[in-house]
């Protein structure tokens, strides 16, 4: 596997996880979106992915 392929997989993984998190919040906890923007949620998800990769 090339580095570019790995980067693409990580990018797709991040997009899938982020979209799933936003959809979950939208359906199960809509009031969260009143307090936090989708961009805030994306940054939170990204930070957690990076933290888990470092552990």
Give 33: exposed, middle or buried? Use CB within 10 Å, 0-12, 13-18, 19+: middle
Confidence (pTM): 0.71
pLDDT value for 10 = 77
pLDDT value for 54 = 77
pLDDT tens profile 1-52: 676 777 777 788 888 999 999 999 999 999 999 999 999 998 998 898 888 8
pLDDT value for 1 = 65
Number of H helices, E strands in the chain: 3, 0
Distance, CA of 13 to CA of 40 (rounded, Å): 18
């Amino acid at each position: 596997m090339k580095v570019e392929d790995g980067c693409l997989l990580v990018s797709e993984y991040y997009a899938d996880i982020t979209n799933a998190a936003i959809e979950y919040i939208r359906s199960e906890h809509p009031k969260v979106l009143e307090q936090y923007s989708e961009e805030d949620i994306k940054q939170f998800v990204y930070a957690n992915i990076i933290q888990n990769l470092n552990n």
